[in-house]
Structure 1
Amino acid sequence: MLPVRPDPRVLLAALALDLALGEPPERVHPVVWTGRLVSLLERRAPSGRRVELLWGALLAAAAALVPALSALVALRLPLPRLIFEAYLLKCCLSWRALEEAALGVVRPLEAGRLGEAREALRSLVSRDRSGLDESLVAAAAVESLAENLGDGLVAPLLFYAAGGLPAAALHRGVNTADAMVGYRGRHEYLGKASARLDDLLNLLPARLSALLIAAASGRRAGTALAAALREHRKTASPNAGWPMAAAAGALGLVLRKPGHYEVGAGREPESRDIRRAISLCRRAAALAALGAVLLCRSREVGR
């Protein structure tokens, strides 16, 4: 039988590695290798709408299948199973790096260094940051924390619990391709397959993230859940609006991206709200980890 069974010990060890060490060096980071594959295929993409769509489908398939098949091969190597699998799973998820990126924004913002905060925000969002005031910088950081709770933690944990390391690696590969080419503009057609596949894979994780944020918000759980149900359609993405609206409701904020969307019915965010969002998402992340461990355990008992 293929060695794909999820192991709760591996999951806990992967989380411990992430919290203790953060991201490994690029030369030994499997996600970076996937990014290089995507970049190679991007550079060799032919021109023309129809052929770009086909090439983009090939790119998306490669980004999904190469990491998944590589994980299957890696699990057969004669290496310490628990440590090696935990390391590979850790590379599929990222919570410490997300927190550090958010703290990199809030610290200069609290010190009144708006320009430095805008520059730090580039690690969280790709939008134009030059005209953002303090409130919009804080809003972008809060939005990114909420959305990436799903992409960076809930989804890989869920995929691991459901299908082992190959499933988690497949998700991370697709998410990497989407981050690199799955946007409008130059990659309108080349990135369409990656974007659609990423949307599909994150349908459940995004909604689970909203539920986890609501559950982590204590007395404001009802408000957070109501906001997610009411306002998740306001974003262009079918998934991003769920955790973002839940966070807005939980924190009592309005989160705006001028010209695109506005979710929530509270006050404009301030720098301190980034720290509140970190604490909220940290509690939601803990609930996600607990749920994934219990799911792994239930599958062990069921065998």
Structure 2
Amino acid sequence: MSLAAASAIALAAAADRAFGEPPTRFHPVAWLGRLVEWLDASVPDTRLAGVGIAAGTPTGFGLALAGVVLAGAAAARVTVGSGDGVTATVLAAAALFVCSSHRMLLAVTRDVVALSASDVEEARGELRALAGRDASDLSPAHVRSAAVESAAENLADGLVAPLMGFAVGALAAGGLGLATVEGLSVAAGVAGWVKAVNTLDSMLGYRHRIAGWAPARLDDAVMWLPARASAVLLLAVGRLTPQQHGRRRGSLRAVWPSVRRAAGVPASPNSGWPMASIGAVLDCQLEKPGAYSLHADRPLPTVEVAQAGVRVVSRAGLLGIGTASVVVAGIGRAVPRLGGSGVVPA
């Protein structure tokens, strides 16, 4: 099962690089968004309603994706007589693909950064696809800051979180002794659950909504580890990136205290970590006027610095994908030895 799960991660990453995202009308997360909009308009704005939405919606979405993997594998077994493992791998990869987003967000970020130097009004308009802030009065430098911040935060939300969910699900299934098909369905289901939690927070987790309290708190808990893992990925990639004057950056241990201080500035317990890390890597200030300023003693990003930030986020995503594949394959194959039973299917 471990090799099948690692293969699914690789296939999902390849699909993201090749296609970006499915058309909206065929995108399960877009369907989820429409369901959340309906719930938002239909249920009372109470804390109890929010708890119900936070408990039921991600669970239902995760079970739906897991069910697709199981049903597809069963259909292959009935119609062909074999190939259920391959079918489950492809369907699990498809589930992870629709639950994660990397290439498209990076492309939008590149466009915003380029437009900030040539057409700031259009850049402000394009920024709305990345950040929910009011961009009408942002300077070109602040537009670039918002784009870089969003790229780093979206690394955690859009890629690392569902990827970690998939890996944890695969490893847990292997530890429980589940066969390949069932294990891949669990992995797909956990990735879907994580994606739904994040979607709920982005749509309902606002301070002025009573029902948004539970989705927001659940997202805070779920994103705690992915946000910090994303920070480590960004710093690791940045460590290998020369500064403009050719000198290598300091060690992760040396940079971490300043990142930790800056990460605590935004109100969110998680979003500050990837933002503070990309700011440290780029040696620039990241500021949301009237809300926070990270690394305030440094200049706001130039076009060149912001473009470098997009490259760092892209490479950090690739590093995360590679790391998850290796961990799933390595630890997954070691689980039978650790358990001493040797009964877990490979």
TM-score, length of structure 1 as denominator length: 0.92
Q: How does 1:286-301 map to 2 (within 5 A)?
A: 286-301=318-333
SS of equivalent residue, structure 1 residue 256: strand
Aligned-pair CA distance for 1:86: 1.1
Q: Which residue of 1 aligns with 2:220?
A: 199
Stretch moving more, 175-184 or 102-111: 102-111
2: CA distance, partners of 1:287 / 1:46: 43
Cα gap change, 1:38/1:32 in structure 2, threshold over 3 Å: closer, same or farther? same
Q: Which residue of 2 aligns with 1:170?
A: 193
Aligned-pair CA distance for 1:272: 2.4
SS of equivalent residue, structure 1 residue 262: strand
Cα gap change, 1:210/1:110 in structure 2, threshold over 3 Å: closer, same or farther? same
- C-alpha deviations, 1:77-123, integer Å up to 9, x for none? 12522222211110010001111110220222232x11000000000
Q: How many residue pairs align between the two structures? A: 294
Q: Which residue of 1 aligns with 2:182?
A: none
2: CA distance, partners of 1:180 / 1:62: 16
Percent pairwise identity: 37
**Is 1:235–2:266 an aligned residue pair?**
yes
The answer on whether the counterparts of 2:286 and 2:293 sit within 8 Å (CA) in structure 1 is yes
Aligned-pair CA distance for 1:199: 0.7
Q: Which residue of 1 aligns with 2:102?
A: 95
Aligned-pair CA distance for 1:181: 1.0
Q: Which residue of 2 aligns with 1:118?
A: 124
SS of equivalent residue, structure 1 residue 123: coil
In structure 2, stretches of 5+ residues that fail to align are: 77-86, 170-186, 240-247, 337-346
The answer on whether the counterparts of 1:224 and 1:247 sit within 8 Å (CA) in structure 2 is no
The answer on whether the counterparts of 1:178 and 1:195 sit within 8 Å (CA) in structure 2 is yes
The answer on whether the counterparts of 2:2 and 2:328 sit within 8 Å (CA) in structure 1 is no
SS of equivalent residue, structure 2 residue 21: coil
SS of equivalent residue, structure 1 residue 76: helix
TM-score, length of structure 2 as denominator length: 0.81
Aligned pair partner of 2:232 in 195, 211, 232: 211
1: CA distance, partners of 2:152 / 2:66: 31
**Is 1:14–2:12 an aligned residue pair?**
yes
Cα gap change, 1:137/1:207 in structure 2, threshold over 3 Å: closer, same or farther? same
The answer on whether the counterparts of 1:6 and 1:165 sit within 8 Å (CA) in structure 2 is no
**Is 1:263–2:270 an aligned residue pair?**
no
Aligned-pair CA distance for 1:5: 9.6
